């Protein structure tokens, strides 16, 4: 088999297209690979020809230099592909299948996997529970922003689409199943969104828009999205959300203008640790702003879903505490109001089949809502730059020209 092209982290603010090795069924040394994983046999894996692989806000944290990611790390954890080779231990997945890959790698064998906690698998990352493709401190599994990628535990991990032609017709929707649609859904679901709920989603990036879409799918009466970026707020309004511009002040005041009361039933943090302040502080970073704001504006007895990323190592943190993930959170507010919190990686496998069915049967248009935009692999550096500037798009890489763009 021939070579492989991929996108790698080339230092703060930079990504590049590189030539790299075609995957094999054994983990090899390389940037970010955990030494304990080198030489690990992956007879239970498959090699995918990548159909679609997306640029994620979580990738941007690394590219901005806000993690300890090493240069040369092949990026990409949102992967949809065609199976081109199966390891000898694969029984049910076949060559030619079109599949979605959960961004969190899980073994299907450990206690957590058996309890559907696939975001914190105990066997795939020697350093800590939980793993992902192409991500710092996640075990060193090679990323999927590439023409070809290795996926372990294929019979367990992969979601096979039932019909190839239908899958390719809806590929821009289905590619969101690897991460942002389940992640947004997890944020809304764990915030307690149900029929008639009022919901505030902090952040109008792709995950925030996916959470807003999920809230609508779950039956919310009103979904309000807050952000600093007017283009992204306009994207939220395009599918029926109310919006607040947090650069104009505390979202609580704007919520009252929409709802008649300064609170919502459910809150979702789709921003994470690079949060900026509200009002006059919008130009500077205040990493605890969103969490504290959500505690203030969520009704007593409510819940916060927190799909936004928080890290334990941030070289660019605003102070020494933030550099190790220690934020000044008003936990007393949360305690006094009896709020529930759910954080951590979304367990994608808990949701992805149901969301696939909603897509295939036209119950939701997630690609339209997040403004999915397909670009060639070679244009990934420009896509990263535009996304970093706040483009209201979800960039979908098309490494093998399998997505036919109208």
Q: What is the pLDDT of residues 314-339, one digit of tens each?
A: 888 888 988 888 888 999 999 999 99
User: What are the structural domains of the chain?
Assistant: 4-179+347-397 (3.90.180.10), 180-342 (3.40.50.720)
Q: What is the pLDDT of residues 99-153, one digit of tens each?
A: 999 999 999 999 999 999 999 999 999 999 999 999 998 888 999 999 999 999 9
- Rounded Cα gap, residues 331 and 242, in angstroms: 28
b/e 183-222 (16+ beta carbons within 10 angstroms → b): bbbbbbbbbbbeeebbbbbbbbbbbbbbbbbbbbbbebeb
pLDDT of residue 314: 84
- Rounded Cα gap, residues 195 and 220, in angstroms: 5
Q: What is the pLDDT of residues 269-310, one digit of tens each?
A: 999 888 888 888 888 888 899 999 999 999 999 999 999 989
Q: How many CA atoms lie within 13 A of 177 on its CB side?
A: 31
- Rounded Cα gap, residues 41 and 45, in angstroms: 9
Contacts with 129 (C-beta within 8 Å, 6 or more apart), sequence order: 112, 120, 121, 122
Residues of the chain above pLDDT 90, percent:
84
pTM of the predicted model over 0.85: yes
Confidence check: pLDDT of 2 > 80: no
DSSP 38-106: TT-B-TT-EEEEEEEEE--HHHHHHHTT-S-PPTTPBP---EEEEEEEE-TT--S--TT-EEEE-SB--
pLDDT of residue 245: 96
pLDDT of residue 130: 94
- Rounded Cα gap, residues 201 and 193, in angstroms: 11
Residues 245-250: contacts with CB under 8 Å, at least 24 apart: 246/202, 246/278, 246/279, 246/282, 247/278, 247/279, 247/282, 248/279, 249/278, 249/279, 250/278, 250/279, 250/293
Among 213, 206, 235, which residue's Cα sits nearest to residue 351? 213
């Amino acid at each position: 088999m021939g070579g492989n092209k991929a996108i790698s982290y080339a230092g703060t603010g930079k990504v590049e297209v590189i030539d790299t090795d075609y995957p094999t069924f054994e983990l090899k040394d390389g940037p970010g690979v955990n030494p304990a994983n080198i030489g690990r046999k992956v007879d239970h894996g498959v090699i995918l020809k990548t159909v679609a692989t997306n640029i994620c806000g979580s990738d941007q944290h690394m590219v901005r230099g806000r993690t300890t990611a090493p240069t040369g790390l092949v990026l990409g954890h949102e992967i949809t592909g065609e199976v081109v080779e199966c390891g000898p231990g694969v029984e049910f997945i076949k060559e030619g299948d079109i599949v979605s890959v959960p961004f969190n790698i899980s073994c299907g064998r450990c206690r957590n996997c058996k309890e559907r906690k696939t975001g914190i698998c105990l066997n795939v990352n020697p350093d800590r529970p939980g793993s992902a493709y192409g991500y710092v401190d996640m075990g060193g599994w090679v990323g999927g922003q590439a023409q070809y990628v290795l996926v372990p535990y294929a019979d367990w991990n992969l979601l096979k689409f039932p019909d190839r032609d239908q899958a390719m017709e809806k590929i821009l929707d289905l590619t969101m199943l690897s991460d942002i649609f389940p992640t947004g859904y997890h944020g809304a679901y764990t915030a307690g969104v149900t029929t008639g709920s009022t919901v505030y989603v902090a952040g109008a990036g792709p995950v925030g828009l996916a959470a807003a879409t999920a809230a609508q799918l779950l039956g919310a009466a009103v979904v309000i999205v807050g952000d600093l970026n007017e283009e992204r707020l306009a994207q939220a309004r395009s599918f029926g959300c109310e919006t607040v511009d947090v650069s104009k002040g505390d979202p609580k005041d704007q919520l009252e203008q929409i709802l008649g009361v300064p609170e919502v039933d459910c809150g979702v943090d789709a921003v994470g640790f690079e949060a900026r302040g509200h009002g006059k502080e919008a130009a500077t970073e205040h990493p605890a702003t969103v969490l504290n704001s959500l505690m203030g504006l969520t009704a007593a007895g409510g819940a916060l879903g927190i799909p936004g990323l928080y890290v334990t190592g941030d070289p660019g943190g605003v102070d020494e505490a933030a550099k190790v993930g220690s934020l000044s959170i008003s936990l007393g507010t949360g305690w006094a109001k009896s709020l529930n919190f759910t954080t951590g990686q979304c367990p994608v496998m808990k949701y992805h089949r149901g969301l696939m069915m909603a897509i295939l049967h036209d119950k939701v248009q997630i690609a339209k809502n997040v403004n999915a935009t397909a670009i060639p692999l070679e244009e990934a550096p420009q896509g990263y730059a535009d996304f970093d500037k706040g483009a209201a798009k979800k960039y979908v890489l098309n490494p093998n020209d399998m997505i036919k763009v109208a």
